Amino acid sequence: MSFLFHVRLKMQNSNLVQSITQQFAVTYQYTTYFTERVFGLDNPLLARCVESNWLPAKCLFVLDSGVAQARQSLLEEIERYAEAYKQQIAYKGTLVIPGGEVAKNDTGLFKQVLEAIHLKGICRHSYLIGIGGGAVLDMVGFAAAIAHRGIRHIRIPTTVLSQNDSGVGVKNSFNLFGKKNFLGTFQPPTAVINDFCFLETLSQRDWIAGIAEAIKVALIKEKTFFEEIERNADQLVKRNQQAMQAIIYRCAELHMQHIAQGGDPFERGSARPLDFGHWAAHKLESMSHYRLRHGEAVAIGMAIDCLYAHYQGFLAKPTVQRIFNLIQRLSLPLRAPEVFFKDAQGTYQVLKGIEEFREHLGGQLTITLINDIGKSFNVHEICLKTMQDSIYNLEKMEFNDPAADFLQISENSWQ
């Protein structure tokens, strides 16, 4: 529904200003499905997600090369599936693109996806179906959002991180000018299909990295979820599928609830609770030239912000120890060499991430911290001295000695 207001305002200086104001609301709805063997011929889910006035709808697939390599039969499986469901799916081919952050960095690859959309005649009633990790999905989602001003888009996330976090949300992105996620839009997908079978071929590193986002959501939203991760930490490390599926489901649910009920789905304000630990994480990812996985960088970013919250008097020491303990049990990192890189003035370079974060959000600097497990709050300024101390102490801590009181703030501080 739309309203038009024709207003004539008489200004003080008696100049007449005319204006037309309009207001309308657009409702979004999409579902994240949890399934197995999405391309099994007996699984009609994907075909059912393809809805159009003109069936069969044209479908172009974009596939992460990491997934294609790990499952060599996949291209054939997609083709056979499309053939079996040809009443819904008019198959327009599968473009394989390199997986990982390169997909978000390389404008040539981005152009390749747009070109395929162009050459295959993909229109606003067609579907671009991305299959891959968070990086490929971010880039494919961005292409879908801008080609023809928005093509229908289905995500099939294949990593823990994309199934529990990045794939189920409303954002897409592309890196530019050395800045992470410099381009991007808020564009909800048509549907998300989490197929747990894809996780079987993940490297141990990527299996673990995605758990960092679950810890993040638990820390800002739900203590019982944090306790569930603690209880299952050993099973998770041992790749227990059931334990991981439960974590992914709850994390995705909390994430989606936040988007729908948090009051700011398209992040117009400056607060971004889901970005706990992310000001440092994004900076560390680019400083490491993406050697660090996003999830690993988030684990380190949370460690820095937990220490900071502790030294600022918000977070109790045993709570910080408990959080650090879980991160370590999961073999996620608490630090990396890049955290301690300094500029010519002796300042930790990672601190530039605070200003970049402010610039990215716009408006007032807003950083989410926690004062207990499951309880978050926002601060609008960061005490740089305490932050430097936090990073200094992170470097000096003895993590290998369980008896060490590694949280004692050092008197000599970072200088």
Ligand X SMILES: NC(=O)c1ccc[n+]([C@@H]2O[C@H](COP(=O)([O-])OP(=O)(O)OC[C@H]3O[C@@H](n4cnc5c(N)ncnc54)[C@H](O)[C@@H]3O)[C@@H](O)[C@H]2O)c1
Binding site for ligand X (CB under 6 A): 64-67, 70, 99-101, 104, 132-136, 138, 158-159, 161-162, 165-166, 169, 171, 173, 198, 201-202, 206, 209-210, 293-295
Angle (nearest 5°) at CA 357 between 351 and 360: 150
Residue 208 or 387 with smaller CB distance to ligand X: 208
Residue 158 or 190 with smaller CB distance to ligand X: 158
How distant, in Å, are the alpha carbons of 142, 283, 353, 373 from that of 184?
Answer: 6, 18, 19, 31
Residue 206 or 389 with smaller CB distance to ligand X: 206
For the CA atoms of 370, 380, 342, 101, what is the dihedral angle to 10 degrees? 70
Please report how close the Cβ of residue 350 comes to ligand X at its closest, in angstroms.
17
d(CA 161, CA 142): 18
The distance of Cα 69 from the centroid of its chain, to the nearest Å, equals 24
Please report how close the Cβ of residue 224 comes to ligand X at its closest, in angstroms.
23
Amino acid at 372: D
Please report how close the Cβ of residue 181 comes to ligand X at its closest, in angstroms.
6
Residue 208 or 229 with smaller CB distance to ligand X: 208
Residue 76 or 83 with smaller CB distance to ligand X: 76
The distance of Cα 349 from the centroid of its chain, to the nearest Å, equals 23
d(CA 414, CA 385): 9
3-state secondary structure of 214: helix
d(CA 74, CA 78): 6
Residue 161 or 254 with smaller CB distance to ligand X: 161
d(CA 376, CA 258): 13
* Residue 210: Cβ within 10 Å count: 29
Please report how close the Cβ of residue 38 comes to ligand X at its closest, in angstroms.
12
For the CA atoms of 66, 68, 69, 75, what is the dihedral angle to 10 degrees? -170
Residue 60 or 212 with smaller CB distance to ligand X: 212
Please report how close the Cβ of residue 235 comes to ligand X at its closest, in angstroms.
20
3-state secondary structure of 41: coil
Please report how close the Cβ of residue 250 comes to ligand X at its closest, in angstroms.
17
Residue 92 or 272 with smaller CB distance to ligand X: 272
* Residue 6: Cβ within 10 Å count: 8
Please report how close the Cβ of residue 173 comes to ligand X at its closest, in angstroms.
6
Please report how close the Cβ of residue 287 comes to ligand X at its closest, in angstroms.
14
Residue 225 or 414 with smaller CB distance to ligand X: 225
Residue 134 or 333 with smaller CB distance to ligand X: 134
- The DSSP annotation for 352-369 comes to HHHHHHHHHH-SS--EEE
Residue 51 or 77 with smaller CB distance to ligand X: 77
* Residue 390: Cβ within 10 Å count: 24
The answer to whether the beta carbons of residues 72 and 104 sit under 8 Å apart is: no
Q: Which of 143, 136, 129 is nearest to 81 (CA)?
A: 129
d(CA 143, CA 158): 19
Q: Which of 258, 257, 230 is nearest to 243 (CA)?
A: 230
d(CA 325, CA 222): 18
Please report how close the Cβ of residue 170 comes to ligand X at its closest, in angstroms.
8
Please report how close the Cβ of residue 124 comes to ligand X at its closest, in angstroms.
22
Please report how close the Cβ of residue 101 comes to ligand X at its closest, in angstroms.
5
